Chain A
Amino acid sequence: MSTITLLGLILLVLMVLVGGKAGAQSFLALILNFGLLFLAIVLVAFHFSPLIVTLVVGVMVLALTIFMSSGDDLSSTVAFIASAMVLVLLVLLIVPVEHWAMVQGFGPEDSEDLEGLSVLVGINFVQVTIATAILSTLGAIAEAAMAIAAGLSEILEQHPQVALKALYGDGIAVGKQIIGTTFNTLFFGFFGGFLALFIWFTGVHYSFGEILNDKIFVAEILMILFSMLSVLLTVPVTTWVMTRAVAGKRKRGAHEATK
């Protein structure tokens, strides 16, 4: 049995033991997300536009992650709409910044891995790097949107008549609780992945200026910053969507009552 299979089986068993049906669903979502990610790469290899593929796959990943984990209807719907909006905002930012920084493709540090590979493959790597940056933030967007929507829907359950203005303050308060720990998840997640690269920089004695302008380094740091920004944007956007949803609901409720 291969290592991946056994580790996967252990994860499945543990998730079912701890979370029951919800755990099994989350595991399935994880596998489907992997399938979607791989599909995105294959589609781009077939010369579909990287940006459009990423947007479609991104929305599907958000839907899968959010609707397949246990949450009530209101908070899942709000989380999905909010995370899709954050995704669009993020694309609007990532596209110009990546064109500005020009960190596409590979750097001199990659030359050993690139040996024997043709790099003139006729696919625009600026767009591929944009796609990579967007995909790497998807998990964080979904998680943050769900946490804030769930927190707000709990507040609504306890105080159903809370004023909309107060609800906005509550959203920021929930955001304050989650942002510190979410930033740490992102920081350690990314830095765990870049450990080898940073060791390389110190081992080869890059100067501070060289690191600060290095293609790979800037690309990786930009990815962390995009993720942090997406989590940050999720706080006000999710809260805003929740207040809209509640306002709409109350209006309909008032309508029914007058009838």
Chain B
Amino acid sequence: MGERAIIVQKFGIQQTHRWWAWLLVLLVGAVVVVGTHYDAALYRDPIMRVTAVTQQKATKETDDFQNVDYQTGQTLHGVILNGRYRGNRLTVSNTYSASGAMDQRYRVGSQLFVVAHQHHGKFSATVKDRKRDTPLVFMIWLVVGLLLLILRFSGLMAFLSVAANGVLFFLAILLNGATQGAQVLWIFGSLSIGFAALTLWLVLGRTRQMLITLATTLGGTLLSIVVALTVFHLTHERGMFYESMQYVTQLPRPLFLAETLLGSLGAVMDESTDIISSLYALKRERPELTPRQIFKSGRQIGSTIMGPLINVLFFIFVADTFPMALLYLKNGNSWGYTFSMNMSMGVVQSLISGIGIVLAVPLASYLASRWLPKEVRA
């Protein structure tokens, strides 16, 4: 921790030069946003910039469920920005609906990926999708920039820990692909240990506090999975619809468990860190506390944060199903069927994570009451 304090102080000195930091962040932002706007040359697929649009008249469409929508055709004239066909002018057609669930309206200036066809020496193309890297990079810049400006060194650490976990996550997915998904639960199970150890090491350093937090995190997550498997066994997974999971390319059940495991890991880690660091602070102020009192305080702290944390995961898991659930309702399905086919798996995930989050409270309090050093140095 000593080393860290020095670095923090160093960053403190820079406070006087704050406007420099703001200017630098703004400049970097302008460079990346403008840069990605003109980065077509980096892509292999041909990109077309729309230079002129002719609109046709909208036609009214009514489906079997009396949903009314309007479809409009448009002819797009544009120029290819990159690759073999660079500079070629071409004309493509596009149809979009007012709701725009699967299609979209293009305007002058839009950059689109196109699939080029060479037919009898004539050059034509169809639109594939829009180029989206500029808004993506803009948002990444906004978050990272604000993170560094508001929280400085801690912001940098938070960013590094997310980036490091992202790299680990990517490697794990490659490994999963290499094994055809047969080992998904083992890969992501053992990876959770790596994730947790790495993150806590970055936040807390190699301390006893880190070990207690790590033990709680892994214990809580493992317990929740054990409870889940027991419940699955007892209820024969009634009301769980694996077929409703999206984008599944391998055996759904282990994949579902791996998703749940990862999802709850972060929240359990968040909670254990909070409880145990508060207990450390408490012990520092009042060294005379007995293990029993520490356990009680831990439970007290934990019970106030567990509810909001379960909520965080619930909204992440379930809000995502909004568009599909809406489509189900508009296609004449009942509320119950819509729930089963879209939200039931997310709710099961939230409940399992919730169980892990709640179980981590007594676990953290117990481990802290046993393993907290007699004297905590400031």
Residues of A at the B interface (CB closer than 8 Å) are 1-8, 10-11, 14-15, 18-20, 22-23, 25-27, 29-30, 33-34, 37-38, 40-42, 44-45, 61, 65, 68-71, 97, 100-106, 109-110, 113-114, 117-126, 128-129, 131-132, 135-140, 142-143, 146-147, 150, 172, 175-193, 195-200, 202-204, 207, 209-210, 212-215, 218, 221-223, 225-229, 232-233, 235-236
Q: Which residues of B contact A214 (CB under 8 A)?
A: 129, 132
Q: Which residues of B contact A114 (CB under 8 A)?
A: 102, 327
**A179-B151 in contact given A123-B326, A142-B311 (Cβ < 8 Å):** yes
Pairwise interchain contact B266-A187, C-beta atoms closer than 8 A: yes
Q: Which residues of B contact A120 (CB under 8 A)?
A: 61, 63, 67, 69, 71, 97, 99, 101
Q: What is the CA–CA distance of A22 and B317 in the complex, to the nearest angstrom?
A: 24
B289-332 contacts to A (CB < 8 Å) = 299, 302-320, 322-331
**A101-B136 in contact given A192-B260, A192-B263 (Cβ < 8 Å):** yes
Pairwise interchain contact A191-B240, C-beta atoms closer than 8 A: no
Q: Which residues of A contact B177 (CB under 8 A)?
A: 199, 202-203
Interface digits, B276-289 against A, CB 8 Å rule (1 contact, 0 not)?
Answer: 01000000000000
* Interface bracket on B: 35 or more
Residue in A1, A106, A143 whose beta carbon sits within 8 Å of that of B308 in the complex:
A143
Q: What is the CA–CA distance of A177 and B63 in the complex, to the nearest angstrom?
A: 53
Contacts A/B (CB < 8 Å), 16 sampled: A2-B235, A3-B239, A6-B231, A11-B358, A23-B358, A45-B329, A65-B308, A100-B134, A117-B331, A125-B323, A128-B326, A177-B277, A187-B266, A192-B264, A199-B177, A199-B255
- In the complex, what's the smallest C-beta–C-beta distance from A64 to chain B, in angstroms? 9
Pairwise interchain contact B147-A232, C-beta atoms closer than 8 A: yes
Residue in A135, A213, A232 whose beta carbon sits within 8 Å of that of B315 in the complex:
A135
Pairwise interchain contact A30-B100, C-beta atoms closer than 8 A: no
Pairwise interchain contact B270-A187, C-beta atoms closer than 8 A: no
Q: Which residues of B contact A125 (CB under 8 A)?
A: 99-101, 323
B173 contacts the other chain (CB 8 A): yes
Pairwise interchain contact B326-A44, C-beta atoms closer than 8 A: yes
Q: What is the CA–CA distance of A53 and B255 in the complex, to the nearest angstrom?
A: 34
